[in-house]
Copies of this chain bind each other. A is one copy, B any other.
Amino acid sequence: MAGSNSGLNSANSANSDFLSQVQAHVQANKGRYLEELKSFIRQPSISTIDVGMGEASQMLAAFMRRLGIRTTIYPTRRHPVVFGEIGPEDGAAPAGMRTLLVYGHYDVQPPEPLEKWVTPPFEPAVRDGKLYGRGTSDNKGQLFAHLKGLESYLAVTGAESGAAGAAARLPIKIKYLFEGEEETGSPNLRPFVLEHKELLRADAAIFSDSHYHESGRPSLILGLKGLLPLELRAKELASDQHSMKATVLPSAPWRLVTLLSTIKGEDGLVKIDGFYDTVRAPLPEEMEAADRIPVNDTEILKAHGAKHLLDNRFGRRYYHNMMFEPTFNISGLVSGYTGKGTKTVLPAEASVKIDIRLVPDMRPDDIHAKVVRHLEKHGYGDVEVARAELGLIPSRTPITNPYVEVARRAAADAWGDEPVIFPSTGGAGPNYIFTDDLGVPCIVIPFAASDQANHAPNESLVLDGFEKGIVASAMVIKYMSES
């Protein structure tokens, strides 16, 4: 990404005029767009308890069809995938026409605890410039802004939306992939994608989730970490013993402590052979982008009640470490008696839950195997290594990818401010389905604010973000056609 502000207020007058038209259209239609979103929010779609999923998928498909999107509802083993296309058929597209893949999810988290909601979760209500309701930010509202971005683009470029001919004026193809299982870990998304690689062929994938920067500036998120959750269990005795026997019988918790001390030292570096071997060095541009993200160590320490920040292989740079470094985190540790007071017991077992966050190009299977080899090498081959979940492969779209510039310009136009670009976040997610399985760059452009309270009571979507998101989505269509 260039350091210039070329995207602000658009680089040329044609773009600037187009942006103004989109913005004017959104301002003129925002009332109707909001009412449509409210009707979508009113339809519960709680995937984990299977409430309203069929109805919500039908409603979403209807919204799409009204815009001229050729939409199919694909059943999966649980909740359907809603897929749609607009623009020429794949074979009939003009040479060089770009294809954009828009991802989102129409399922929501359960709304409980209900008593904490100021207004009911499925009765959307506007207060103080925010739309409150379950799914407003995560992800119905952010998903919906892309549909309204298409509608706005079509409206500004000619006939009314929904008209059959309008699609013909689109300068790119757009494919929409909306799943209904994100809040349950997307168990059927990857199988669907692998089975429909041709259908999903695209030049870039975009989606809107998470939130833009706390400062109010827009954000682009270009990478997510992978995840390998493991549990190590040391068992030394058939049952807990009176602790008087600690002189003569082996101790599971001490063994676990000793084992763990072979994995990480005082410097925090992971001592497993080859752990860092496949870590992709960040690009200079990515490191620069990380350094440009506003950060205030003092505030971070205060907010977390921490006494210091961690060093890492390359020093103590908050976002640098967060984005480009793997973790070997202890998320849970337990052995023996953990209640109040004293119980003099020699515990039979001790276990530790580990979550290892992976950066490109680490792979869960490879790191798992290296952990096992480490244990064998250090005499802990009998310690059980359980892997309850397959984990997630990390993904990162290089900041130098041309479609990052497309998204950057669109966001800068919509917000009137340069986006804060996150070459990665510390969070994990299945973006590798796009970057690795489909082989396309994947860019996250959030439309929700950082106080969205997703997964919590009183989830909200700031209306300003919703409107800017619609504008940004329309501008992505335009800039993608020019890329």
Q: List A residues at the B interface (Cβ < 8 Å).
A: 225, 227, 229, 236-239, 241-251, 253-254, 256-258, 260-261, 264-266, 268, 300, 304-310, 312, 318, 321-322, 325-339, 341-348, 350, 352-353, 355, 357, 382, 388-389, 425-428
Contacts and interface: CB of A to CB of B under 8 A. Distances in A.
A250 B334 contact: no
A271 to B, nearest CB: 12
A338 to B, nearest CB: 4
How many copies of the polypeptide does the oligomer hold?
Answer: 2
Contacts of A344: 227, 229, 329, 331, 355, 428
Contacts of A427: 242, 244
Contact of A332 (B244, B250, B337): B337
Given A243-B327, A321-B248, A353 B332 contact: no
A242 B357 CA distance: 12
28 contacts: A237-B306, A242-B427, A244-B322, A244-B327, A244-B428, A246-B327, A246-B328, A247-B310, A248-B318, A248-B321, A250-B310, A253-B330, A254-B268, A254-B330, A257-B257, A257-B264, A257-B330, A257-B333, A258-B264, A330-B336, A332-B336, A332-B339, A332-B343, A334-B338, A338-B338, A342-B355, A344-B355, A344-B428
Given A246-B357, A331-B342, 18 more contacts: A237-B306, A244-B322, A245-B304, A245-B322, A247-B310, A247-B322, A248-B310, A249-B304, A249-B309, A257-B257, A258-B264, A258-B266, A330-B336, A331-B343, A332-B347, A333-B335, A333-B347, A342-B389
A352 B325 CA distance: 29
Contacts of A333: 253, 256-257, 333-336, 338, 347, 350
A309 B248 contact: yes
A229 B342 contact: yes
Contacts of A227: 344
Nearest to A303: B238
A257 B247 contact: no
A346 B227 CA distance: 14
Given A244-B428, A338-B332, A341-B388, A238 B327 contact: no
A481 to B, nearest CB: 36
Contacts of A343: 331-332, 353
Contacts of A331: 243, 336-337, 342-347
A25 to B, nearest CB: 38
A257 B254 contact: no
Nearest to A344: B355
A356 B256 CA distance: 19
A348 to B, nearest CB: 8
A267 to B, nearest CB: 10
A243 B357 contact: yes
Contacts of A245: 304, 322, 426
A61 to B, nearest CB: 34
A318 B248 CA distance: 6
Contacts of A325: 247
Contacts of A338: 332-334, 338, 353
A449 to B, nearest CB: 18
A405 B266 CA distance: 55
A340 to B, nearest CB: 9
A306 B257 contact: no
Nearest to A348: B305
Contact of A250 (B257, B261, B306, B353): B306
Nearest to A297: B248
Closest 3 CB pairs of A and B: A238-B305, A244-B426, A261-B261
A463 B268 CA distance: 62
B330 A251 contact: yes
A423 to B, nearest CB: 14
A241 B427 CA distance: 12
Given A236-B306, A264-B254, A247 B426 contact: yes
A226 B251 CA distance: 20
Contact of A347 (B330, B341, B428): B330
A390 B483 CA distance: 75
Nearest to A328: B246
A232 to B, nearest CB: 12
A482 to B, nearest CB: 35
Contacts of A336: 330-333, 353
Contacts of A305: 237-239, 348
A440 B108 CA distance: 74
